């Protein structure tokens, strides 16, 4: 955390198709502003890894590139939002993904007098997303993100951030599943852009630029929300 660490409660949503950079940018905002990143994809992968009933059901759907049921996702999110570290607000990455989830989130936040302060749409081209996703991998120890073409570790096989040497690729980051995930995005998630626009809480960000340029645009948008 640094001098920009926020003190007021803010809830921010990063919207955008798979590969738009939501996770990477959410982690950068987390570090910059002291907000907590909350990724339903990460929560679901943890449920899959621990073999819970919800995890078993979610696993098949995630492999196909479809969306896990609102019931499962909302239950997992509700548990996470009840924890103390998120009381000052969150950066939601990968949630909501349907209008029903957005409505349920509004109700959930209202219970504690909170709102969605800003929904930021990361705007990208679909075709570029397939290349972006197919080449990405992360450090198995600290989660730092890399890409075969755009961001390789400075020393091959060693994480720049933590110095460890085990990397992993997501099971659903193959071209076929990515295309299914893009279809799910356009059919079920893109309507959220209108949902938040109608609530006057939508901002748009050109996410085809490089990681640092996108981070700089997002920093300006978040500073505006915090001011
Ligand atoms: P992500 O890590 O956000 O790319 O999510 C990976 C996969 O988890 C998605 O393709 C979905 O199958 C599932 N998933 C993550 N978040 C949600 C959500 N909010 N609603 C439904 N499914 C989700």
pLDDT tens, residue by residue, 101-153: 999 999 999 998 999 999 999 999 988 888 889 899 999 999 999 999 889 99
Q: Is 97 a catalytic residue?
A: yes
Name which residue sits closest to atom 15 of ligand 1, judged by CA.
Answer: 41
Contact 219, 32 (CB under 8 A): yes
Q: Which helix (H) or strand (E) holds 109?
A: helix 99-110
pTM of the model: 0.89
Geometric angle at alpha carbon 185, from 17 and 65, rounded to 5°: 100
What pLDDT does 168 receive? 95
Q: Answer yes or no: is pLDDT of 175 > 90.
A: no
Q: Give the count of beta carbons closer than 10 Å to the beta carbon of residue 157.
A: 9
> In this structure, what DSSP letter does residue 151 have?
B
* Catalytic option among 32, 45, 97, 132: 97
Q: Answer yes or no: is pLDDT of 3 > 80.
A: no
Distances from the Cα of 26 to the Cα of 23, 62, 64, 157, angstroms: 5, 21, 25, 25
Closest by CA position to 159, among listed 171, 168, 150, 172: 168
Residue 40 CA: nearest ligand 1 atom is 16
* Catalytic option among 27, 151, 170, 179: 170
Q: Is 181 a catalytic residue?
A: yes
Residue 96 CA: nearest ligand 1 atom is 19
Mean pLDDT, residues 1-17: 75
Backbone angles phi, psi at 204, to 5 degrees: -115, 145
Distances from the Cα of 218 to the Cα of 70, 83, 211, 221, 222, angstroms: 28, 26, 11, 5, 6
d(CA 110, CA 71): 19
Q: Answer yes or no: is pLDDT of 27 > 60.
A: yes
In the structure, what pLDDT confidence band is assigned to residue 158 with cuts at 50, 70 and 90?
very high
Q: Answer yes or no: is pLDDT of 96 > 90.
A: yes
Geometric angle at alpha carbon 165, from 162 and 170, rounded to 5°: 95
Q: Is 22 a catalytic residue?
A: yes
What is the longest distance spanned by two Cα atoms in the chain? 49
């Amino acid at each position: 955390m640094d001098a920009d660490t926020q003190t007021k409660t803010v809830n921010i949503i990063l919207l955008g198709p798979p590969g738009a950079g939501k996770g990477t940018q959410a982690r950068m905002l987390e570090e910059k502003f002291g907000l907590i990143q909350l990724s339903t994809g990460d929560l679901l992968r943890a449920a899959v890894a621990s073999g819970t009933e919800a995890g078993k059901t979610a696993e098949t759907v995630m492999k196909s590139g479809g969306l896990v049921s609102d019931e499962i996702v909302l239950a997992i999110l509700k548990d996470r939002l009840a924890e103390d570290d998120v009381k000052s607000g969150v950066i939601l990455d990968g949630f909501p993904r349907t209008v029903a989830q957005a409505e349920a989130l509004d109700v959930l936040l209202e219970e504690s007098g909170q709102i969605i302060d800003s929904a930021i749409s990361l705007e990208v081209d679909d075709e570029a997303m397939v290349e972006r996703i197919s080449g990405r991998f992360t450090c198995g120890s600290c989660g730092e993100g890399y890409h075969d073409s755009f961001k390789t570790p400075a020393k091959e096989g060693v994480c720049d951030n933590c110095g460890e040497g085990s990397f992993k690729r997501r099971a659903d980051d193959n071209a076929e599943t990515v295309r299914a995930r893009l279809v799910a995005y356009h059919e079920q998630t893109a309507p959220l852009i209108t949902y938040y626009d109608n609530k006057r809480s939508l901002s748009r960000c050109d996410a085809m630029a490089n990681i640092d340029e996108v981070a700089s645009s997002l920093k300006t948008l978040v500073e505006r929300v915090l001011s």
